[in-house]
Amino acid sequence: MRLLIVSTSTVFGKPYLSYLQEECIDFFAPGKNILFLPFARPGGISHDQYTAKAKAVFQQWGFNMRGAHEFDSASHGCDWADGFFVGGGNTFVLAESLRSSGYFERIDKDVRQGKPYMGTSAGCNMAGISICTTNDMPIAYPSSFDAFSWVPFNLNPHYLDPVDGIEHMGETRETRIKEFHEFNTQPVIGLREGSWIRVEENSVVLHGDSTARIFLPNQEAFESQILPESVL
């Protein structure tokens, strides 16, 4: 499989997707047809609005892009596509929409057969075993919390470290993931903004300026510049 599992589409101080330009061009190859899945609807924007935002960038890079909602069926959309980009937003809305539209099963099949997949934020969550380590509110009710299970771990995109001295009394990301491991056994990778994981067949490589935070059940979390065998 070929995957680009990205924590965020936008890093502070830079335009949408700009920091990923070289990686995306190398990953997809210009001239290809990229199907954009706008179902996560960040901030509640429409499918058309979200697609226009992504399309403007990808066209500038030399790709053809259409929104998944523009096709009359998942089969027709995926037949047109040479690769997939699933944008961020709300993971629960995304998961429900992928399943109800028929895109979940067809994308899973196509990616397992070699079509490249890029997912940012909510789209990043979908590459793992389940969506249960998302940061999002459950504003929609998907029929399953299962994700594509292309990699043998869960993701926590936009991972934030605890801030010393902060007066906020809510739980940290690390605490939430420890709670997850009271009921689940799969590893979780805390993927900081500006970081991504690229999968090429049997190669799984962490990219970006930050280390990843690795969470395993019944162990203390730790930092790593590479993805250890314990999560693969």
Residue from 144, 120, 138, 140 nearest 193 by CA = 120
- 177: enclosing H helix or E strand: helix 173-180
Strand partners, 67: 36
Phi, psi of 224 (to 5 degrees): -150, 140
Fill in the DSSP letter of residue 205. E
Are 208 and 23 a contacting pair, CB within 8 Å? Answer: no
Are 204 and 197 a contacting pair, CB within 8 Å? Answer: yes
Positive or negative, the CA dihedral 187, 168, 91, 123 is: negative
Residue from 149, 216, 145, 191 nearest 3 by CA = 149
Please give the Cα distance from 162 to 91 (Å, whole number).
23
Please give the Cα distance from 159 to 195 (Å, whole number).
10
Phi, psi of 121 (to 5 degrees): 55, -110
The catalytic residues are: 121, 136, 158
